[in-house]
Structure 1
């Protein structure tokens, strides 16, 4: 599916509008390679070509939405789209007026094409299998092109096309012992893959040792970027959108009121300029390259989607209530210096099953599970048995924060439920003077 095909299809639909009707046409498509691996061997490989047309018909203060699949054949696709338009026209008279209906009334255009430097899938997977020889590796590879388009009878013409890869995998040792890792982005680098797998081999060797049992309490800790991502996802759950702020349901309510603050080094942004997610919304609004959500430890701006903008009289700066391209600023801690700076405490590679234990105090609970090690005087002693943490992010990102790493990791979402996700996060690791383990 390409831009020209989509625009021509949309233009034909616009000629069939009646009276004062307004139509927004959206396209979501992908051409993706998917490969599943178990025991470091390819078990399933396939290629997906998909495209779906979304229509939003607007009449006065009413709207009706629907979608249909596209086959890439102009005649059948047009017939399918016309039938959908007719169905929406029949439906719209029976829906109530929408008080928060909001769409851009100014014509606008944009194009963005993000290319990737990738070897053929066969070569990349051959490198992976060779570098992981002897490991019980299970994972999924996803790569290829994602297309998103928007066209309206008002005059919006937007196109986004990005090419990327994402390798999400785990290495199993025995019983409940395993490690998880990932590698994704726009540029394939064999040395990065080998480095990650080498670190995994070393960690699996340590994991084979008897597990260290520690009592509940507060411990110094280093949280790797994958663990930080879990905390950022909790913040994204109502932490940044305007509606939750105005209804005082945000877990960052005390931060907004000025009662609490984070460390001044904590700067969190939504960066649509990164290129994986489109820079326009389904309602035709353009998003800024960057939105400062938390600046120097204090609340800065909210994410404002079209409906919240209408309800609260603000300007649109986001496609939805949660970040799609979140970034946490880097610090000055070298990765090589992490064990020495940690000295004695926990190295936490991942966090699992996170949830709010007290959202009013921004308190999160979850499990350490895989990839957590006990460090003593800068040396790894062994894996730590599964523990539950329960602590406030006002501490972890605030008064107990000691350092952020200089290097950041780009973590792409592995979600494929409704097509390959375009969400991503660019995150450093965190060194904290203490994290509370409850049991």
Structure 2
């Protein structure tokens, strides 16, 4: 049976032989072979396997471009027939389209190949580990695992291949009173000891949820944002925050940071770190991707630029995809040991997760959202009560600026749980954050 890499290379070679100059093409290849296992009450309720391949073909001629998406059968003869039909369809469409003033193709014949083939345990072994560890727990979750492949080829001779194994176990533990703890374990090498440690932490938090709920009055509170909570805030900033296009159009939530009129804490450094990540080192537009420092010690230091923004605004592209959002974001670590978080917090909020975030004032990078799973009230370094769901409303320039006291030395890898259409390769590596003040509104 053909490997995905061989399948991709044969399709790309066929295109090189059948696309006729002055026509030019780009060809992107997305494939996965994923196990999906759903748990309820700590037992398997649904198990399945998805194997799929999608390709994106773009044809360019005389300053015009047309593209289409095809789902392949992973049978070479059938797939070549579909590709041929698609190529003919694009040829018929091109003369009907206007010239694209920002069309920019990469003329370089670059080559890139990465394969991160760390073996994953068989699904049965993972099921047995989870089932044994979840005895007596109302565990609900989904485990997704397997290789994800990305390929790119062009008429100019560019050829890129990326394949990486990964897993993502996203779960919640429910208490009889209806409260829940949400947790996640993800990466490329499943370690039973690491999973058990994460689950034990969830068990301990579940025990705290048995205590009566504490309701807080609106106001400002000292708080610790666990990595999953900080990820929600950083994720909101990725909606245009680092985009060259959004910054040029003055609708980035970090406009003030990039104009130099506002700063974040010197403790904060953020980068797009494609090297050794789960994301390919090339864009679907056919440009090699590089690591980019986005925020250095609280000041803007770089932005994500795709080929169209480069052409429109006279910038140098750095391989960003069309949305100009990070896909391998890293927040630099601090010096606060995770074991000392509660002691350093003293009295205040321990926030495991934030939910339903949105901008209450985009130009001021002001966010609103809800606490939800496993938010606790801490006194003198000890958890004393779970806290009722509260809404917060605060500016990133405060939370990650003037009010940021410390970042943890340990960081957590969080992979995208999105499976809409396909599993994603995006990831975030980030610490927890201790802040002097978080504003709760109701």
Q: TM-score, normalised by structure 1?
A: 0.98
Gaps of 5+ in 1: none
Superposition pairs for residues 122-201 of structure 1, below 5 Å? Answer: 122-174=124-176, 176-201=178-203
Any idea what the Cα deviations from partners look like across 1:297-341, whole Å, max 9, x if unmatched? Answer: 001110001111111122221224110000000000011111110
Secondary structure of the 1:54 match is strand
Whole-Å Cα distance in 1 between the matches of residues 296 and 72 of structure 2? 43
Matched, 1:427 2:427: no
Paired residue for 1:384?
A: 387
Paired residue for 2:39?
A: 37
Secondary structure of the 2:175 match is strand
1:152 Cα deviation after fit? 1.2
Paired residue for 2:293?
A: 292
Whole-Å Cα distance in 1 between the matches of residues 231 and 120 of structure 2? 25
Superposition pairs for residues 11-410 of structure 1, below 5 Å? Answer: 11-174=13-176, 176-288=178-290, 290-317=291-318, 318-320=320-322, 321-410=324-413
Matched, 1:418 2:421: yes
Secondary structure of the 1:98 match is coil
1:35 Cα deviation after fit? 0.6
Gaps of 5+ in 2: none
Q: Are 1:107 and 1:156, in contact at CA under 8 Å, matched by a contact in 2?
A: yes
1:117 Cα deviation after fit? 4.0
The more displaced of 339-348 and 197-206 is: 197-206
1:175 Cα deviation after fit? 5.0
1:14 Cα deviation after fit? 2.4
Q: Are 1:267 and 1:297, in contact at CA under 8 Å, matched by a contact in 2?
A: yes
Paired residues in the alignment total 438
Secondary structure of the 2:96 match is coil
Any idea what the Cα deviations from partners look like across 1:49-91, whole Å, max 9, x if unmatched? Answer: 1111211000121111112122222211111110011011111
Whole-Å Cα distance in 2 between the matches of residues 117 and 400 of structure 1? 43
Whole-Å Cα distance in 2 between the matches of residues 306 and 165 of structure 1? 32
Q: Are 1:287 and 1:316, in contact at CA under 8 Å, matched by a contact in 2?
A: no
1:259 Cα deviation after fit? 1.7
Any idea what the Cα deviations from partners look like across 1:20-41, whole Å, max 9, x if unmatched? Answer: 0001111100111111111111
Whole-Å Cα distance in 1 between the matches of residues 59 and 177 of structure 2? 54
Whole-Å Cα distance in 2 between the matches of residues 359 and 283 of structure 1? 29
Q: Are 1:102 and 1:283, in contact at CA under 8 Å, matched by a contact in 2?
A: no
Whole-Å Cα distance in 2 between the matches of residues 205 and 283 of structure 1? 50
Whole-Å Cα distance in 1 between the matches of residues 37 and 308 of structure 2? 39
Q: In structure 2, do the counterparts of structure 1 residues 15 and 117 end up closer, same or farther at CA, with 3 Å as the change threshold?
A: closer
Q: Are 1:255 and 1:261, in contact at CA under 8 Å, matched by a contact in 2?
A: yes
Secondary structure of the 1:65 match is strand
Any idea what the Cα deviations from partners look like across 1:264-321, whole Å, max 9, x if unmatched? Answer: 1100000111330101012221011x20000010011100011111111222212241
The more displaced of 181-190 and 167-176 is: 167-176
